Amino acid sequence: MHAQISPSILSADFANLERDLHRISRADWAHVDVMDNHFVPNLTLGLPVVRRIIEVSPVPIDVHLMIEAADRWAVDYAHAGAASVTFHAEAAQAAVRLAREIRAAGARASIALRPATPVEPLLDLLPEFDMVLVMTVEPGFGGQAFIEGTLPKIRRLRAAIDEQGADTWIQVDGGVSRDTVETVAAAGANVFVAGSAVYGADDPNAEIDALRGLADGALARR
- Specify whether 173 is catalytic: yes
Express the helix, strand and coil content of the chain in percent, nearest 5 each: 45, 20, 35
Q: Is 86 left (phi over 0), alpha (psi -120 to 50) or beta?
A: beta
> How far apart, in whole angstroms, are the C-alpha atoms of residue 61 and residue 55?
10
Pairing of strands 169-173, 84-88: unpaired
Residue of 36, 62, 173, 216 marked active site: 173
> How far apart, in whole angstroms, are the C-alpha atoms of residue 48 and residue 59?
18
Residue of 33, 36, 130, 216 marked active site: 33
> How far apart, in whole angstroms, are the C-alpha atoms of residue 102 and residue 210?
32
The number of angstroms, rounded, from the C-alpha of 88 to the middle of its chain's C-alpha atoms is: 11
> In what helix (H) or strand (E) does residue 86 lie, and over which residues does it extend?
strand 84-88
Neighbours of 86 (CB within 10 A): 30
Nearest to 193 by CA among 140, 155, 136: 136
> How far apart, in whole angstroms, are the C-alpha atoms of residue 167 and residue 221?
20
Residues serving a catalytic function are 33, 173
